[in-house]
Structures are given as structure tokens and as C-alpha cells.
Amino acid sequence: MSVDSESQMAKLLEEMAAKLHDELRREKDDRQNTERVLMKLLDDSVEAIALRANDETVAKLKKRRDERDAARGQREKETAERTDYWQRKFKEEKEAAAAKKALAD
């Protein structure tokens, strides 16, 4: 083999090795980019799920608070009605007692 053909063969092998190295680097970069994109999507998905869970939790808590407020309002209304009933009843009994006393005098 001549020196020229050996140098051409060495040059060809170096070029092939450089191309292979470049291809491997591109594949590695592509994998890393794909991984970054997938991780970003995963992070966004997890964040969206967390936000939705928080929104749902807040909505549930608000609904429960509204239900408690409504129940409290209903209890207060019923208490007021009972109070009014007993006040009327007391007033009627007091008036009846006064009328009875007036008749007795």
C-alpha cells in the first residue's frame, strides 16, 4: 500500500469517525431535548392537576360553607319563629289573666 492510499484511508476513517461522532452527538441532543419537552409537559400536567385539585377543593369548601350558612340561617329563622310564638303566647296569657282579674274585681 502506498503512502497516499494509507493517508487517504486514514483520512476517510477520520471523516467517518467524525461523522459518527456528530451523529451520536445529534442523537444525544435530540434525546435530551425530547426529555426536556416531556419533563416540561409532565410538570405542566402535574401543575394543572394540582391547580384543578385546589380549585375543586376550594369549590367544595365554599359549597360546604354556603350549606352551613344556609343551615344556620334556617336555624335562626326557626328560633325567631319559636321566640315570636312564645312571646305571643305569653302576651295572650298575660292579657287573659288581666281580663280574668278585671272580671273578678
Positions of the chain with pLDDT lower than 70, given as ranges: 1, 3
Instruction: Report pLDDT for 63.
Output: 93
Instruction: Report pLDDT for 1.
Output: 58
% of the chain exceeding 90 in pLDDT: 53
In a domain, 12, yes or no: yes
In a domain, 81, yes or no: no
- Return d(Cα 36, Cα 39) in angstroms, integer: 5
Domain count along the chain = 1
In a domain, 24, yes or no: yes
In a domain, 88, yes or no: no
SS3 category, 68: helix
In a domain, 55, yes or no: yes
Measured between its terminal Cα atoms, the distance across the chain in Å is 151
pTM of full prediction above 0.85: no
Q: Exposure string (b/e) for 44-79, b if CB count within 10 Å is 16 or more?
A: eeeeeeeeeeeeeeeeeeeeeeeeeeeeeeeeeeee
In a domain, 63, yes or no: yes
Cell numbers placing 60: 367544595
Q: What's the domain range around 46? A: 1-76
